[in-house]
């Protein structure tokens, strides 16, 4: 098989969690992969980066060229396996928080149809802010939200709730509000966290 071309680094994102490949050496850093002259891969847990070598320069193929003589297009055959089929990351947006403490928006685990819990913090995110309350993103949502969540079943992912009267207003009044979507991995912040203030 004649020498071919080494591909640029290819990045697979949101494909799986803790992925690895067989058929090529693993690199300890992305920089090592980028500087290598051979096929290989690097995984950071959430994304996987790899390079393959073609059996011939693919860019030289004409639209009418007969490829029947090529029994193998790639010199490198990589097999991908992951601990989970899809990286489930928190997606979501705080649409509005009004002066009465009513909070609305949407949140989900990317790629999942399950509704998730929402944790509310004041004065900063978890770790620095004060916990206020929790709710669930289980209200009816439009298809656009389902598409943003990559939810194959288009299940409910909106939330609309009010901070309970049992919560001391001193905990959150005059402070910026932060919302975390809760999952088993990173409890990511929703977009617009820290933007709204309840006076």
Number of separate domains in the chain = 2
DSSP state, residue 145: H
Residue 156: CATH number of its domain: 2.60.40
Q: What is the pLDDT of residue 192?
A: 96
Residue 102 and residue 55 share a domain = no
Question: Pick from 81, 103, 137: which residue ends a domain?
Answer: 81
pLDDT < 50 regions, the chain: 1-3, 58-74
Encode burial over 92-116: b for 16+ CB neighbours within 10 A, e otherwise: bebbebeeebebbbbbbbbbbbebb
Determine contact, residues 178/128, Cβ cutoff 8 Å.
no
On whether the pTM is more than 0.75, the answer is: no
The answer to whether position 4 is within a domain reads: no
Residues 96 and 16 in one domain: no
* Same domain membership, residue 77 and residue 98: no
Beta strands in 46-101 (DSSP E): 47-51, 79-81, 90-97
Domain that holds residue 48: 10-81
User: Does some domain include residue 2?
Assistant: no
Q: Are residues 167 and 72 in the same domain?
A: no
Q: Do residues 35 and 132 share a domain?
A: no
CB count in 10 Å sphere of residue 192: 17
């Amino acid at each position: 098989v004649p020498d071919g071309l080494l591909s640029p680094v290819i990045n697979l994102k949101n494909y799986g969690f803790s992925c690895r490949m067989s058929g090529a050496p693993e690199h300890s850093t992305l920089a090592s992969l980028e500087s290598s002259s051979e096929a290989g891969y690097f995984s950071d847990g959430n994304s996987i980066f790899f390079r393959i070598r073609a059996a011939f320069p693919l860019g030289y193929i004409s639209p009418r060229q007969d490829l029947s003589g090529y029994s193998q297009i790639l010199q490198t055959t990589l097999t991908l396996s992951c601990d989970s089929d899809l990286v489930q990351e928190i997606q979501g947006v705080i649409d509005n928080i009004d002066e009465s403490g009513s909070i609305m928006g949407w949140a989900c685990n990317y790629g999942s149809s399950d509704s998730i819990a929402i944790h509310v913090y004041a004065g900063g995110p978890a770790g620095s802010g004060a916990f206020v309350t929790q709710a669930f993103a289980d209200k009816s949502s439009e298809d656009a939200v389902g598409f943003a969540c990559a939810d194959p079943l288009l299940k409910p992912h909106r939330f609309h709730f009010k901070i309970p009267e049992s919560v001391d207003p001193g905990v959150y009044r005059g402070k910026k509000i932060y919302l975390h979507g809760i999952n088993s991995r990173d409890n990511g912040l929703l977009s617009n966290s820290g933007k709204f203030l309840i006076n």
